[in-house]
Structure formats: structure tokens, C-alpha cells
Chains A and B, each alone.
Chain A
Amino acid sequence: MRQDDFAIDNCLKCSVCNAACPVFGVNAQYPGPKQLGPELERLRLEGISADTEWLEYCLGCHRCDMACPHGVGVSEMIAHAKAKHHKPLVRGLRDWWFARPGLLGKLTTILPAISNFALSMKLARFFMSKVMRITPLRTFPAYTKPNLRTPPARTSEDRARLLFFPGCFIRYNRPDLGRKVIELLERNGFATEVAATECCGVPAAANGDAAQAHAMARANVKSLVAGVDAGMRVVTACSSCGYMLKTGFGGLLKDDRELAPAVQKIAASTLDVGELLIAQSDAGMLNTDFQQANMRLAYHAPCHQKSQGIGRPWFHLLRQIPGITIEDLDAGCCGMSGTYGFKQEKYKISVAIGQELFDSINASQPQMVATECATCQMQIEHGTDFKAIHPVEIMLQAYNGKII
């Protein structure tokens, strides 16, 4: 994919993007990226309304862009059109919530016990399914107290400082994972500061809520820029957050004169934790004090990890742990795509897309699946009997000698 080049004439109509699209493969009516992207874009550029409900069915997985031999930014065209798409009231209301996991996080974490109880209550589930069109077949991740904080500085050492962008999931659902990220980085000689940031904006963009995505992007730039200006690098442990930061918040702020330079700087300074650690490893500076492990893993590369164009850092890192064997499943998209898989009308598609991944996990029979993305983990645990965890946890366990 070429960045910042939206010329539709690059599209030669070869359909390679359609061949790569997970939704196109399982839904006979989905028009596919070629049509939703460059073809309808011709009309949209002429000011002709080409709105279609199918825009909502795009996962935002970027597989079309990554496959296009001519570098057409197909999914970004679709995302722009999605932002202008009109939804009926109920779906609009539901997606308004889905666009704001941070808000839901803030509300529910005031009283996590009560809200988790409510989320699991039959009546609430019935309401969500019948009125809000949220599938009752999935369970929501539990919310907890957002108690992820910057650990106290160790004054005795002069360590490279990093800014950690936790994203909503780590902040509101898994602060313990955030602490593990910090500990892992500390074991590798870094001091980490937790950035006071909002949701990265991917859920808002995915739900077609451009205004919200925009607001999140602005808030995040403002809270990250000082650290980046001071030479700090930003690390992410969520593939979607990483993608968003590296692409200048999905290109949302590229016309914003005031913020564009900061956005670019942030994009250039952002690294996935795995990317940072593999660079350490290349420089001979990775802490390799691993205890002997004995484990067979399967690795699933999330779509937004692939669309960061950084190779497979975690696959190669985990392979360095003595006693771990790891297989790259290479079985396509999991189909979850954040909030997509929760939507009643999209649930079937979501699970059908995941089938190839489920089958390959079942064939591989690992002790565990490693994958960076929280919603990929949910989908894997929904579709198979295998546990899926973040590679950060596995690596930390390897230092602590806790891998069976």
C-alpha cells in the first residue's frame, strides 16, 4: 500500500483485493473492496451519493490494501465513505456506544462489580440482544478498576524512558497486562511512563464515527507530543492502537495545520513492544535470562499487526525462548474486528471468517495460542477450546520460570 496516495486511476480492476477480502469470501452479497473502494469512489468524487449499507460490513482489516499490486489504499476509501454513511436509529445508537469503549470503560469502572454483574445478567443480555442488536452469544470482557499507573522512578539508574500508550482495553479491562508490559520493559532496561491518553480512535473509525475518532486523535496528540518532543519513544501493546498512531491516526489529522507536524513525529516515534524488543535483540541487548520452558505455541498475526509492516517480531522473539516451539498459523483474519463480532447482524459473518483460523488451531493442537490483539484472543477463545494470550505474558513468564 502506498501511503498518502489515493489516486483511483492506480486501480486496474484486477480483483486481487477481492480475492484477499475475508468478508467477500464468506458473504455472497458483499460487493467487495474493489467496488466499495475505487469503483464507488468515482461516483463519490463526482458528488453522486453511492451510500450503501454494505460499507458497515467492512472489517477494516486492510487485507485489500496489503494485497493490491498497485498500491491502492482501498480500505481508507471505504473508511471515509463509512463515516458518511447513514444508519437507522437503533444501529446508530448501538454503534455510538461501540465507538466509545473509553466512555463505557469510565462508566462501568466506577462500580465494576455491579456493571459486570449487569452485563452478565439475563435480562440485560436479553435487552441488548432484542433492542440493541448485540449478539447474546458472546460474553463481554470484564471491566475492572483502571489502576494502571506509572511505576515510581528508580532514581539510582539512568534508563531510557518510554511512553506507554495503553489503549482502552488495557486501561479498563486488563490493567494487569499493562503492568506486565511495564515489567517486561523494565527487565530490558527501560523506564516506562504511562501516557494519559484516550482511546486510540480505531473503534470510533470502525463504527463510522469520524467526529469521535477525530476528537480522540486530537486529545491523544496533545497528551503525547511533549514526551515525543523530549525524545521519548511511544510503545503500544495493542495492534490496533499501534496501527492508528503510526498512520497518523488513520490520516485523520493530516489537514490539520496545527497538529500535523506533531502527528508525524508521533507516528515516526511509535513502536510495537515486540518491534522494540526485536530491535534490542538485533543489537544484542535483549535480556535473554529465560528459564527453560516446555511449551508448544501457535501464533496468530492480527490484521493490524500485519498492516504495520514490521514483519513478525513476536513470532521471532518467542522462538528465542529455550523450550518453546511455535507455529505461525497463517490462517487469515479471525473475523472479530473489535466490536464487529458483537453485532447481531454481523455475528454469523464474523464466525464464518474465523473458521479457517479455528480449524488450523484445532489441527495444530497447541498448548496455547499467542496473539497480540485482545479481540483476536476473544474470537479464538469463542471459536475453539484453546486459550489465547498476549505474547508479553509468555515472555514475562519465561523470565520468571513459570512456563509449564
Chain B
Amino acid sequence: MESNHYDVVVVGAGLSGLTAAGVAACQGLRVALVATGPGSFVLGSGYLKTQEILAAGPADELSEAIAFFCEMAQAAGCPFEGQFSSSRHLPTILGDFQSVTFAPRPLWNAEPRNDTSTAIVGIRELSYFDENFMAERLSDQARLLGSSCTYSARQISLARSCGAPTTTLRIAKRFDYDAGFRAELIEALRPAAAGFVRVLVPGMLGLCSREQQIAQFESELGCTVCELPTLPPSIPGLRLFHLLSRHLSKLGVELLQGFPVSKLQIQDGVCMELEVASPGHPMVLRGECAVLATGQHSSTLLGVDCNGHDEQMHPLTSSGSVMAGNLFVAGTALPGSSGSSGDVMEILTGHRAGSFAAATRGHYAAR
């Protein structure tokens, strides 16, 4: 087998691309994932919002797609919590609540729980997170939701270990590799957590930390620790990206990160080759099929002027015919998605495109 020949080439590392690559890899296919960087989901919290779930179309297919995604995230070490039949209110960066159906575990326990008291812990050296504002807003908003929980602001200082000013990104990086720092963080949090059933901190518990590492941190502190979404960079979003990509790589997916796909060669209704704009000369990838999960803007740059898609996620030309039988689209590359289809739609369409792509196995064998 040629080293640059794949069963499926996925373009784009947003949630749709990662899901499509995961679907194909789980069926034992040889997959390449080409991307210039992570998709825009890394700027968000990873919440799968109830509103999006309700809007997302056929329930059977959706539950299959979400179940697949949750399994993949679990295997990657960043499990999601939740179930279709219920939802809960989780805090947003604006200090109000949002109805969420699934969320990464460290964010899942931040919902207003009746008769509990929660500490919102800010860090003195972290200027862009205001624990007082957060506590006040969340207490008000919880009351409006009819909850009798209270949020109190606490502040700790990490000046000794982090210097000032610092960012959640720096804290997260230290959290990853420096056990001494994690111990200091626990010591700093201990007095702030005293008397509370849980503490809420800005998202900062590591860029690559898996479930076990966060659980160990909680058990050493002796208290539930939840993360709150912050302004980008969003640590929970970046963590999800890192862990999912590592997981895919373990599954055998070839990750080609850094350079954009500059050309798709389509001939007689078949996508023959993709060119990656590497320095010097392009890297040519051949695939039995390709999934374009490039986001809204890049697909037109590739000359794929997508005028809709059929039920099998094939992009259509302006005359309504299938552009290439082995080309599929997903995520915001889909026309009409207007770039705001949300994470749920990304997962759903990524799963769908990945499944159809995987099903072409053998149809377009290397010529």
C-alpha cells in the first residue's frame, strides 16, 4: 500500500472532521486527517446545548452520532456527561445559565443544586476572571431559576509559582507537567474550599489532563472541582482537541497538521488527489474518498463551490449533480449552515459523512 494512499482523507480538525475521522478509523480504515489547526470549537466550552439538540433533526441518527462521539471522548480520556432525556443549567462566561444536555465532565457539576453552597474561586493574578461578578450574577440567576443554592466569591494567589499577571493558559500548562505546582494549587485552594461542597474555578485544569488526573486532583483536595467557561483561549476546548487528536493518532489516523489543502483534483466525477501546500513542493494524498470538513470559508477556496448536498452528503454542483461520488461534506462547510450550526450539528454531520465515506470502501479502489 502506498504510504500516501488512504481509504479516507478528512480535511479539517473541527468536531465534524474529528468525528468523521473517528468513524472511519473505528471501522479499521486507513485515515489521514489534514488540518491547519484546530476547529473553532476550541474557543468554546464543549457544551452540547439542549436547544441545538432539539433542533438537530432525526432523533435516531442524532442519538447514534452523539453516542459515538461520547464513546470516542471517553476513550480519549475526556468523558462527556448527560443523557438525551434530561438537561441541566450550566453557567456561561456571561454569568447566566444555559440549558445543556451533554458537557465534558469537569464542567458538568457546576449546575445550581438546591440548598448547596459553592465557592467561586478567582485568582488574584488572573485579571480577566472576576469571581465577585460571577458569584453575584450566578446567585441572582439561580434565584430566577427557582434554585436555593448560593455562590460565594473567594480569591487565592498564585504569585509565588506563576508570577503576575498570568493567564489560564499558563496555569493549565503548569498543571500538566508540574506535580509541584498541582500540590501548591491544592494548598492554595484548601482554605478557599473550606465549608463548601464544591469549588468552581475558571477553566484551567490542564491542556492534556485526562479524567484520572483531574479526579486525582479533586480527591487530594477532598472537594468537587468544576471548571467555568472563560473567554478564549478556552482550556476545556483545547483539552478536548488535544485528547481527541491523540486518541485518533493511537487509532492509526495519520495527523497531517500545519498546512492547508490547496487543491482537489476531480476528474469524471471522482476526486483523485488532494494537494497539501507544504513548503517547496506539495504533498499529494490519494484517497478512495475524501471528507471536506473545512469550515465555511475554506471549501470555496478549494474550488468546491458547494450548492447543496444530497442525502449521502455529496456536494452538488450548481446544476444539481453530484460533484464527485467519493467526496463528502460535513460541518460548516455545508451550504446554508452559515457558520453557526453549533457543535451538535458538527458531530451529527461529521458522523453522517464519515459513515457514508466509510461505506464507499472498495468502490473507488486505487487505479
Which chain B residues numbered 247 to 297 have a C-beta less than 8 Å away from chain A?
Answer: 249, 254, 256-260, 276-281, 283
A-B contacts, 16 of them at CB < 8 A, read A15-B233, A25-B173, A28-B166, A28-B170, A29-B163, A243-B279, A246-B281, A282-B2, A282-B4, A308-B280, A309-B279, A311-B256, A311-B283, A313-B3, A328-B249, A330-B246
Q: Residues of A contacting B249 with CB < 8 Å?
A: 328, 330
Q: Residues of B contacting A309 with CB < 8 Å?
A: 256, 258-259, 276-279, 283
User: Distance (Å) between the CB of A224 and the closest chain B CB?
Assistant: 13
Contact yes or no, A268 B258, CB < 8 A: no
Which chain A residues numbered 253 to 273 have a C-beta less than 8 Å away from chain B?
Answer: 267-268, 270
Interface membership of B17, Cβ < 8 A = no
Q: How far is the CA of A68 from the CA of B39 in the complex (A)?
A: 10
* B254 and chain A: residue at smallest CB distance: A311
Q: How far is the CA of A313 from the CA of B233 in the complex (A)?
A: 33
Contact yes or no, B162 A2, CB < 8 A: no
- Which of B3, B173, B258, B280 is within 8 Å of A66, CB to CB? B258
Q: How far is the CA of A24 from the CA of B173 in the complex (A)?
A: 9
Number of chain B residues whose Cβ lies closer than 8 Å to a Cβ of chain A = 39
Q: Given A15-B233, A66-B258, are A268 and B173 also a contact pair (CB < 8 Å)?
A: no
User: Distance (Å) between the CB of A44 and the closest chain B CB?
Assistant: 23
A residues at B contact (CB < 8 Å): 1-3, 14-16, 18-19, 24-26, 28-29, 62, 65-71, 243, 245-247, 267-268, 270, 278, 281-282, 306-313, 316, 328, 330, 355-356
Q: Residues of B contacting A268 with CB < 8 Å?
A: 280-281
Q: How far is the CA of A18 from the CA of B171 in the complex (A)?
A: 12
Contact yes or no, B258 A69, CB < 8 A: no
Contact yes or no, A18 B233, CB < 8 A: yes
- Which of A18, A67, A278 is within 8 Å of B169, CB to CB? A18
Which chain B residues numbered 100 to 146 have a C-beta less than 8 Å away from chain A?
Answer: none
Q: How far is the CA of A79 from the CA of B329 in the complex (A)?
A: 38
3 closest A-B pairs by CB? A309-B278, A69-B37, A246-B280
Interface membership of B43, Cβ < 8 A = yes
Interface membership of B42, Cβ < 8 A = yes
Q: How far is the CA of A2 from the CA of B5 in the complex (A)?
A: 24
Contact yes or no, B4 A311, CB < 8 A: yes
Q: Residues of B contacting A2 with CB < 8 Å?
A: 260, 277
Q: How far is the CA of A330 from the CA of B243 in the complex (A)?
A: 13
Contact yes or no, A68 B37, CB < 8 A: yes
Q: How far is the CA of A246 from the CA of B281 in the complex (A)?
A: 8
- Which of A15, A67, A267, A316 is within 8 Å of B257, CB to CB? A67
Q: How far is the CA of A183 from the CA of B140 in the complex (A)?
A: 75
Interface membership of B207, Cβ < 8 A = yes
Contact yes or no, A15 B232, CB < 8 A: yes
Q: How far is the CA of A28 from the CA of B165 in the complex (A)?
A: 9
Q: Given A14-B43, A16-B38, A18-B169, are A247 and B280 also a contact pair (CB < 8 Å)?
A: yes
User: Distance (Å) between the CB of A327 and the closest chain B CB?
Assistant: 11
Q: Residues of B contacting A66 with CB < 8 Å?
A: 37, 257-258
Q: Residues of B contacting A282 with CB < 8 Å?
A: 2-5
Q: Residues of A contacting B5 with CB < 8 Å?
A: 282
Q: Residues of A contacting B43 with CB < 8 Å?
A: 14
User: Distance (Å) between the CB of A352 and the closest chain B CB?
Assistant: 9
* B172 and chain A: residue at smallest CB distance: A19
Interface membership of B340, Cβ < 8 A = no
Q: How far is the CA of A70 from the CA of B39 in the complex (A)?
A: 10
Interface membership of B84, Cβ < 8 A = no
Contact yes or no, B238 A16, CB < 8 A: yes
Q: Residues of B contacting A312 with CB < 8 Å?
A: 254
Contact yes or no, B260 A14, CB < 8 A: no
Which chain B residues numbered 299 to 356 have a C-beta less than 8 Å away from chain A?
Answer: none
User: Distance (Å) between the CB of A288 and the closest chain B CB?
Assistant: 14
Interface membership of B87, Cβ < 8 A = no
Which chain B residues numbered 49 to 67 have a C-beta less than 8 Å away from chain A?
Answer: none
Q: Residues of A contacting B238 with CB < 8 Å?
A: 16, 19
User: Distance (Å) between the CB of B7 and the closest chain A CB?
Assistant: 16
Contact yes or no, A14 B169, CB < 8 A: no
Q: Residues of A contacting B4 with CB < 8 Å?
A: 282, 311
Interface membership of B36, Cβ < 8 A = yes
Contact yes or no, A247 B279, CB < 8 A: yes
User: Distance (Å) between the CB of B42 and the closest chain A CB?
Assistant: 7
Contact yes or no, A69 B38, CB < 8 A: yes
- Which of A62, A247, A270, A278 is within 8 Å of B3, CB to CB? A278
